[in-house]
Amino acid sequence: MSAGELFDLIRPAVIVVSALLSTWLLVSARRRFPLYQALLIAIAAFFLPFVILPLYVALLLVWRRPAVRPARLRLLLPLLFLITLLTIVGTYTYFDERSVDAHLSKAIRARVLYDPLKAISEYREALKLENSPHTHKLLAQTLDDAGYITDAITEYRAAELGGDPDDTIHYRLGTLLEKIDLNGQALLEFKEFAGSQTCLQVDARCEESKQRIKDAER
């Protein structure tokens, strides 16, 4: 299990513990400080529990301010604070896990872990939310690596039509089209790449494309 997967696994528990800790600090601070100060301490403790908690304990040890016994109704404030906090975090997490960036991040992680099927699935989910030519290209590369040649060609075409500026798409299409014996179409793609800005610069694939054109025209 990777560090990222471990963090994703324990993150809900960490959030709940942080929420409970910040609520406890709200109860404690409310007995010693004005309400706005207690709320600031509680909110800060949720985001930085390992910083705020030691500072708060040290403050109580140094400054022994007498505690005031709260009325029973004052316990409603911490309860409301806890419910609100968990609701906000839960709502944010729900939508964040279903965002384009979340799917792209999961796809990248899956590729690093050599799980192309998971990466392909995440790229497709991202495309449902946003029709991005760059995502089409990333999906095409993953499909190519996994051996899905015709699907990769389709996605490279979508990236090209969408306006992705990467000239090497023509080269990649040419190599894939050769694999399924569409040599005429492959030749057109190699010619496109040979005349591209990328090919006019230093690129070893340019010479290879030109050689393939020569071989095809003999």
Q: Global pTM?
A: 0.63
Same domain, residue pair 9 and 87: yes
Last residue of a domain, one of 74, 96, 118: 96
Q: What does the alpha-carbon distance between residue 99 and residue 108 come to, in Å, rounded to a whole number? A: 15
CATH of the domain at 187: 1.25.40.10
Domain count, the chain: 2
Range with the lowest mean pLDDT among 65-74, 104-113, 133-142, 167-176? 65-74
What pLDDT shows up at residue 1? Answer: 47
Q: Which long-range contacts (CB under 8 A, 24 or more apart) does 27-30 make?
A: 27/70, 27/75, 27/78, 28/56, 29/56, 30/70, 30/74, 30/77, 30/78
Same domain, residue pair 136 and 213: yes
Q: What are the residues whose beta carbons fall under 8 Å from the beta carbon of 203, sequence distance 6 or more?
A: none
Question: Of 184, 119, 191, whose CA–CA distance to 155 is shortest?
Answer: 119
Same domain, residue pair 90 and 9: yes
106 in any annotated domain: no
pLDDT above 80: residue 153: yes
31 in any annotated domain: yes
Give the chain's mean pLDDT: 86
Domain of residue 196 covers 131-217
Last residue of a domain, one of 44, 71, 96: 96
Q: What are the residues whose beta carbons fall under 8 Å from the beta carbon of 80, sequence distance 6 or more?
A: none
pLDDT band at 12 (very low <50, low <70, confident <90, very high): confident
